[in-house]
Amino acid sequence: MTIAVYAGSFDPVTAGHLSILRQAARLFGHVVVVVAVNPDKHTLLTVAERVELLREVVAHHPNVTVASTDGLIVEYARRIGASVLLRGVRGATDAQFETTLAQANRALAPELSTLFLPAESHLAEVSSSRLKEKLARGEDVSDFCPPAVVARLRQRLPPSPSPWSSR
């Protein structure tokens, strides 16, 4: 059985991430979604919250599990016997960044293949950062992430008041 690793910060998980995951679940015997901890990245949600949300939204995929690591993804992939690293791409900018990352990973772990999967076209502009910005402005983001994510973000990011509201 081929094990694939789909790693990211998932702060928070978006419909774009889930689009990639649905494709991966059809392609591979087992997919491990890994919340990667980057100490240089300031996240809104804790690692435990991101893992919890991911587990909730992937529960209907029997061949998908969720984990986290603060180490290198290639080291994690080796430990669990994975042979594929999955990366989602939204457009040309992502492709350039992801190609550079894939080359670095290949240098560290030549036995791992990187597979790029595009999100569905209507989700090409969805990112975790953009999702948080929209919610902070009070915009509806329900088309871009699962309800559990919307609820968690609303707890953390109350909408900013309109500049036209009375003070």
Instruction: Give residue 167's pLDDT.
Output: 45
pLDDT at 166 over 70: no
Whether 90 is a known active-site residue: answer yes
Amino acid at 9: S
List, as residue ranges, the binding site for substrate: 9, 41, 73, 87
How far from 116 is each of 35, 62, 95, CA to CA, in Å?
18, 22, 8
pTM: 0.89
Q: Model confidence over 75-98: pLDDT tens digits?
A: 999 999 999 999 999 877 788 889
Token pair in block for residue 10: 């998932």
Is 41 among the catalytic positions? yes
pLDDT at residue 157 above 80?
no
Q: What is the average pLDDT value for the chain, to the nearest integer?
A: 90
68: pLDDT strictly greater than 80 = yes
Domain ranges of the chain: 3-124
* pLDDT on residue 159: 58
Catalytically annotated residue among 30, 50, 90, 132: 90
Architecture of the domain defined by 3-124: 3-Layer(aba) Sandwich (3.40)
The edge-to-edge listing of strands for the beta sheet with 3-8 is: 64-69, 30-36, 3-8, 84-89, 113-118
Q: Are 33 and 54 in contact (CB under 8 A)?
A: yes
The rounded distance, in Å, linking the Cα atoms of 113 and 127 is: 25
128 is catalytic: yes
Q: Which residue ranges are tagged as binding site?
A: 9-10, 17, 41, 73, 87-90, 98, 123-129
Band the pLDDT of 99: cuts 50, 70, 90: very high
Active site residue 19: no
For 127, counting Cβ atoms within 10 Å of its Cβ (0-12 exposed, 13-18 middle, 19+ buried), the class is middle
- pLDDT at res. 123: 83
